[in-house]
Amino acid sequence: MTGTIDARPVREQQRPGGDHSVGELVHQATEQLSLLARQEVALAKEELTAKGRRMGRGGGMLGAAGAVAYVGLFALAGTAAAALSLVLPVWAAALIVTAALFAIAAVLALTGRAQLRRVGPPTPQRTFGSVRADVEEIKERAHHR
């Protein structure tokens, strides 16, 4: 940019001695903080988008693995029933495998239910507490001024 210092807008002109007024400094700080906040939000958005894509792919693969494992469980149950049918009647072998699978399902259901009961309500209690503490701190500092 060609020109003299006087060609710049008034807010960019420096006072004699290179000093800025308090208003100019506050304005510059506000603009810089605003720009910084926008840049940080854009960076966070970009990072979360990339992580979201990776998580989506990983979740899809885990879902596919679960589906294949589910089919494998059926194959394993059939294999176990076939193996038992070599020493027992087929109906008895199938009944034993079915009972074993239901017993495993019952243990898993009871364990899962116990885990869910320990979690408590689905509210972010620590966050609420932190926000309350912040509000109280701000109120306290405002009253002491």
Q: What is the pTM of this model?
A: 0.47
The most confident of 26-35, 51-60, 73-82, by mean pLDDT? 73-82
Distance CA 102, CA 29 (A): 67
DSSP assignment, residue 97?
A: H
pLDDT class of 86 with cuts at 50, 70, 90:
very high
Q: Which residue has the higher pLDDT, 71 or 123?
A: 71
Q: Which residue has the higher pLDDT, 88 or 14?
A: 88
pLDDT at 68 over 50: yes
| H or E segment and range at residue 45 | helix 22-84
Neighbours of 81 (CB within 10 A): 19
State the amino acid at position 30 in one-letter form: T
- Domain definitions of the chain by residue range: 7-77, 85-139
Spatial contact of 24 and 9, defined as CB atoms under 8 Å apart: no
pLDDT digits (tens, 9 = 90+) for 9-29: 544 455 555 577 888 888 888
